[in-house]
A and B are shown apart, each in its own frame.
Chain A
Amino acid sequence: MTALVLPNRRVEDWKYSDLRNAIEPEAVEFAPVATWNVCLSGSVEQNDLPEIMPRAVHGQMGDMAASRAKFGLFLHVAKGQQGAADLQLANPGHGRALIVVEDDAALVLREHGRADGFTNLAVDIVLGPNARLKHIREAFRSEAVRVSDYALRLAAGANYRAHLADFGAKLSRTELHIALEGEGAQADLSGVSVLGDGGHADVTTRVTHASGNTQSTQLFKIIAGGKSRGVYQGKVSVAEGANGTDSRQTAKGLLLGERAEIDLKPELEILADDVKCAHGAAVGDLDPESLFYLRSRGLPEAEARALLMRAFLEDAVGEIADERIRAEVWSRVEAALAELSA
């Protein structure tokens, strides 16, 4: 039997997230199959995975999860129906899920990750014509090694909104492989990573504009304190003939100390002619002038720092349209910021 070679820093795609360094191959090799606690409302059906899965493009770990998890979770929203699903990982391991939202249907998907140990998930998501999916994923602070690999296919007019909040783990990697296959499909991604000492969070996105008049926006913010590492690598590809594509990609990092590291890598590959694409990335420190201004108005230093950090994340968290969910995410973000600024 040949030893399993885990993705490591020599692989370009995993340069900032050395999985080989974070976990023993045996722990990956012999990991059990992951299971979820599922809470459904509205018209969402839950079944076992079908025999034949839709074609999906995952990353290396996602492919591994797909091949090793022999059973998994299948959620389905039928044509024109609406519902909500709350997923919480019950047992870590290799996991597999399929989520299908049919024509004109809508789903709100929430995930809370708290599991320790090793988790490697492959999630396939298929959105039919004009289907809508709101996806809110919070990955809590832990000592886990966790990889979540989502592969999405969007039909014409389908709309996907993702909001990620990652509070860091020993290694935390989230991959979003999004194919905008149908005319007018749209994906809006936003996320925050708030990392304290020892934390790591990597968001890797691959958005392919395969058809015309497709849109994608990305807004990611990372705050890294202590000895931590935050990563965003996003590649947007515009296929030949995908005219009228509109793509915006913004990633910003806030470094709180000398030992923290933030790596931002936006990439753009354009094969069509008539497209609008913009991307930008910047890493900075807390602005000392702003800090002094706030303190001169009476805010204690820690409070002033927390306020400025919150302000830095404001637009990314603000992308969450649902007021109640946004407030819940804010409360966890603020708790993490309070720890960072203490």
Chain B
Amino acid sequence: MLEIDDLHVAVSGKEILKGLSLSIDAGEVHAIMGPNGSGKSTLSYVLAGREGYEITGGSIRYRGEDLAAMAPEERAAKGVFLAMQYPVEIPGVTTMNFLKTALNAQRRARGEKEVDALGVLRLVREKAKALHISEEMLKRALNVGFSGGEKKRLEILQMALFEPALAILDETDSGLDIDALKVVADGVNALRSPERAMLVITHYQRLLNYIVPDRVHVLYGGRIIKEGGKDLAHELEAKGYADIIREAA
């Protein structure tokens, strides 16, 4: 599904990712763990196609295609979804209208029939319930005045609605209390499927108690310095990053 090979990425001329390699197959959930400044967010943004992230070396292939050559909207239409750490607030656009516009933009790009307002409403309602997202929230302006937990739940709602093939979750646990974390993790787990790959990016092991990964990669200094099964997350929690970094050095 996703093959990242020796990826180098610079932001404002400064190299952040320095030869990152990673491969994820359909049906797998991988976790990327790393301390602050290791390049976690850079990886998520470069996968989603944000401007200002310059690929200076290596490649990203998604389903055999060159992901880096695609515009952000093209990636979305082809099934790449990034649940952002800081979803933006957009006054003047209702959440419901945004969901409808985005869903149909993706469908249009794929040559699929658009879903009418009522159809979108049905789809959203059904998925919103499980995530404890109220009708009232959907009528409000996108993310405006939403709590941290509400914003993260809305990201997962979008993931459920768009049904991406590759979902990247960037620090989805940050700012969540344990109850909110469970709701979000349940939402994510419900979307695990043999056709879908997920990349869970996090600083803490806590989220991985609820979203149990198949593989764990430790990112440090712009490179993967250690890989392992789900137990690696526990090891990290027990030892802290410093020990792992020392061992890898």
**Which residues in A have some Cβ–Cβ distance to B below 8 Å?**
287-290, 292-301, 303-304, 307-308, 310-315
* B 45-80 to A, binary, CB cutoff 8 A, 1 in contact else 0: 000111100000000000000000001110111000
Tell me, rounded to whole Å, the shortest Cβ–Cβ distance linking B103 to chain A: 8
Tell me, rounded to whole Å, the shortest Cβ–Cβ distance linking B72 to chain A: 4
Task: Tell me whether A299 and B102 are in contact in the complex, defined as CB-CB below 8 angstroms, given that A288-B51, A292-B50, A292-B51 are known contacts.
Answer: yes
Q: Are A293 and B84 in contact (CB under 8 A)?
A: yes
Q: Does B11 contact A (CB under 8 A)?
A: no
7 A-B pairs with least C-beta separation: A311-B92, A314-B92, A298-B106, A298-B76, A295-B72, A297-B102, A298-B105
Q: Does B37 contact A (CB under 8 A)?
A: no
Q: Which residues on the A side are within 8 Å of B75 (C-beta)?
A: 296
Tell me, rounded to whole Å, the shortest Cβ–Cβ distance linking A75 to chain B: 35
**Which residues in B have some Cβ–Cβ distance to A below 8 Å?**
48-51, 71-73, 75-77, 82, 84, 87-88, 90-93, 98, 101-103, 105-106, 109, 158, 162
Q: Which one of A289, A298, A310, A315 has the greatest number of beta carbons of chain B within 10 Å? A: A298
Q: Are B158 and A310 in contact (CB under 8 A)?
A: no
Q: Which residues on the B side are within 8 Å of A295 (C-beta)?
A: 49, 71-73, 76
Picked from B51, B82, B88, B101, the residue with its CB within 8 Å of the CB of A287 is B88
Interface of A is mostly: helix
Q: Which residues on the B side are within 8 Å of A294 (C-beta)?
A: 90, 98, 102
Once the chains are docked, how many angstroms separate the CA of A145 from the CA of B102? 41
Q: Are B88 and A299 in contact (CB under 8 A)?
A: no
Once the chains are docked, how many angstroms separate the CA of A288 from the CA of B53? 14
Task: Tell me whether A303 and B105 are in contact in the complex, defined as CB-CB below 8 angstroms, given that A295-B72, A312-B92 are known contacts.
Answer: yes
The residue in chain A whose Cβ has the minimal distance to the Cβ of B93 is A311
Task: Tell me whether A296 and B109 are in contact in the complex, defined as CB-CB below 8 angstroms, given that A289-B88, A301-B73, A315-B92 are known contacts.
Answer: no
Q: Which residues on the B side are within 8 Å of A308 (C-beta)?
A: 90
Q: Are B73 and A299 in contact (CB under 8 A)?
A: yes
Tell me, rounded to whole Å, the shortest Cβ–Cβ distance linking A59 to chain B: 33
Picked from B51, B77, B87, the residue with its CB within 8 Å of the CB of A298 is B77
Q: Are B93 and A299 in contact (CB under 8 A)?
A: no
Q: Which residues on the B side are within 8 Å of A289 (C-beta)?
A: 88
Once the chains are docked, how many angstroms separate the CA of A311 from the CA of B103? 18
Q: Are B109 and A298 in contact (CB under 8 A)?
A: yes
Q: Are A307 and B71 in contact (CB under 8 A)?
A: no
Q: Which residues on the B side are within 8 Å of A303 (C-beta)?
A: 101, 105
The residue in chain A whose Cβ has the minimal distance to the Cβ of B49 is A296
Q: Which residues on the B side are within 8 Å of A312 (C-beta)?
A: 92
Q: Which residues on the B side are within 8 Å of A287 (C-beta)?
A: 88
- Given A288-B51, A298-B162, 6 additional A-B pairs, CB 8 A: A297-B76, A298-B76, A307-B101, A310-B93, A311-B91, A314-B93
Q: Are A310 and B90 in contact (CB under 8 A)?
A: no
Tell me, rounded to whole Å, the shortest Cβ–Cβ distance linking B52 to chain A: 9
In the complex, 9 of the A-B residue pairs with CB atoms within 8 angstroms, ordered by the A residue number, are A294-B102, A296-B73, A296-B75, A297-B76, A297-B102, A298-B73, A298-B102, A304-B73, A314-B93
Q: Are B87 and A299 in contact (CB under 8 A)?
A: no
Q: Which residues on the B side are within 8 Å of A315 (C-beta)?
A: 92
The residue in chain A whose Cβ has the minimal distance to the Cβ of B158 is A297
Q: Which residues on the A side are within 8 Å of B105 (C-beta)?
A: 297-300, 303
Task: Tell me whether A314 and B73 are in contact in the complex, defined as CB-CB below 8 angstroms, given that A299-B105, A307-B101 are known contacts.
Answer: no
Once the chains are docked, how many angstroms separate the CA of A289 from the CA of B71? 15
Q: Are B88 and A290 in contact (CB under 8 A)?
A: yes
Once the chains are docked, how many angstroms separate the CA of A36 from the CA of B168? 61
Once the chains are docked, how many angstroms separate the CA of A226 from the CA of B101? 27
Q: Which residues on the B side are within 8 Å of A307 (C-beta)?
A: 93, 101
Tell me, rounded to whole Å, the shortest Cβ–Cβ distance linking B71 to chain A: 7
Task: Tell me whether A290 and B90 are in contact in the complex, defined as CB-CB below 8 angstroms, given that A298-B106, A299-B102 are known contacts.
Answer: yes
Once the chains are docked, how many angstroms separate the CA of A294 from the CA of B77? 12
Q: Are A301 and B71 in contact (CB under 8 A)?
A: yes
Q: Are A311 and B106 in contact (CB under 8 A)?
A: no
The residue in chain B whose Cβ has the minimal distance to the Cβ of A304 is B73
The residue in chain B whose Cβ has the minimal distance to the Cβ of A295 is B72
The residue in chain A whose Cβ has the minimal distance to the Cβ of B105 is A298
Tell me, rounded to whole Å, the shortest Cβ–Cβ distance linking A293 to chain B: 5
Q: Which residues on the B side are within 8 Å of A300 (C-beta)?
A: 71, 73, 105, 109
The residue in chain B whose Cβ has the minimal distance to the Cβ of A318 is B92
Q: Which residues on the B side are within 8 Å of A311 (C-beta)?
A: 90-93
Q: Which residues on the A side are within 8 Å of B77 (C-beta)?
A: 298
Q: Which residues on the A side are within 8 Å of B76 (C-beta)?
A: 295-298
Once the chains are docked, how many angstroms separate the CA of A307 from the CA of B101? 9
Picked from B50, B92, B101, B162, the residue with its CB within 8 Å of the CB of A299 is B101
Q: Which residues on the B side are within 8 Å of A301 (C-beta)?
A: 71, 73
Once the chains are docked, how many angstroms separate the CA of A313 from the CA of B93? 10
Q: Which residues on the B side are within 8 Å of A304 (C-beta)?
A: 73
The residue in chain A whose Cβ has the minimal distance to the Cβ of B107 is A298
The residue in chain B whose Cβ has the minimal distance to the Cβ of A316 is B92
Once the chains are docked, how many angstroms separate the CA of A185 from the CA of B49? 54
The residue in chain B whose Cβ has the minimal distance to the Cβ of A308 is B90
Once the chains are docked, how many angstroms separate the CA of A315 from the CA of B92? 7
